[in-house]
Amino acid sequence: MTIFNLPATVCLTADPDFTDLALNELRAAAPPARTTGTLAPGVLLIDGVDFFSLAATWHVTPPIFVRHICPVMAAARLYGGEDDVEIMADLLRGQLLEYVEPSLPFSVQTRIFEDGLLKPFDVNRALSSLVEKATAAPLDVRAPQQILSVVIGNVAEMGGAAALMGVSPTLYNLSDWAGGMRRFAREKEQISRAEFKLLEALEVFGIELPPRGVALDLGASPGGWTRVLRGREQYVTAIDPGELDPRLMGDPAVRHLRMTAEAYLAGEPERFDLIVNDMRMDARDSARLMVDYAPLLYADGQAIMTLKLPARGRRAIIERAFEILRQAYEIQGARQLFHNRSEITVYLTRGAIGRESS
């Protein structure tokens, strides 16, 4: 096995259409950082920054557009043959096992960006077996506390296909999922793919909903987010001039008001534990609407919204939308989730000003 100088210290993943904003976040957190290669659209090799220092910074203040990072602590050339798994096993034995904490559950996450080279399952199985036998650390693919990351792709500095590997605490990777690709099983009762956005937001932001809480879904049609909230035992008022999926209409805990969000606000609105908004409108206008709705939240209320972003001027639009939201809310989190497209998801709670005005 040929050992190479590391071509990078970090593998960074972002939505390919938002890579520029992700790199801006990287440079703000670590000015010396530089891109040394691209393994696939949105999958970048980064040098000039220590992974663990960067991860510690982002653990406190997560970026919006960087979806996932993992360390590059060892690298080896691969040749497309049966020996490739053993090459990675030798690399693991010689350079990485010492970083595995025996008392913590682990997982192996493999991503392959080079055609014809192995399968992630085969790599995961071989390397996880090695880690278990060598360290006695328990394998737990559902809730690992440490991850052995394996990224395989064409690395110019190494002359072709290579394996880049590293070990890190799960919480340092920005996502529990390889590359931040959180996938949910499609359910028979699913109404729309938009449901995945809300499911991911609840998970990523660690949002706990009150038992049998009351929720308001703005722009609810066709009802995907309403269905998710009903699955969490929320009583939902769905606001939309359009129709809801017929499967929701027989649910006594769903009240559908066929009107605009502005019309509902002008009437005699009620109070809610949660307001959600996935409406297709300018991000700044959507933020203003949410500020208008803030008095409808209880003092400990929460809100989840998406901010739709155009192709240009996105950073300025986000900053202005945040300025507007801060008039009534505290921004607890903002991320471009795996299931977001040209948008980000924002998690809000009542701010001091918003509480005083209610």
What is the residue extent of each domain of the chain?
A: 10-180, 194-356
- Quick check: 176 and 137 in contact, CB under 8 A? no
pLDDT at residue 189, rounded to an integer: 86
Whats the size of the chain, residue-wise? 358
CATH classification of 10-180, choosing from 3.40.50.300, 1.10.1200.10, 3.30.2130.30, 1.20.1740.10?
3.30.2130.30
**Residue pair 279/215 in contact by the 8 Å Cβ criterion:** no
Q: Which residues pair with 77 in a beta bridge?
A: 162
* 194-356: CATH class: alpha beta
Q: Which of 119, 133, 197, 308 is catalytic?
A: 308
Close Cβ partners of 255 (under 8 Å, ≥ 6 residues apart): 236, 237, 238
Per-residue pLDDT at 348: 99
Q: Which residues of the chain have pLDDT under 50?
A: none
Query: pTM for the full model?
Result: 0.93
Per-residue model confidence (pLDDT) at position 2: 59
Residue 308 annotated among the catalytic residues of the structure: yes
Q: Are 226 and 233 in contact (CB under 8 A)?
A: no
A 10 A CB-CB count for 38 gives: 16
pLDDT of residue 76: 96
Count of alpha carbons within 13 angstroms of residue 23, beta-carbon side: 16
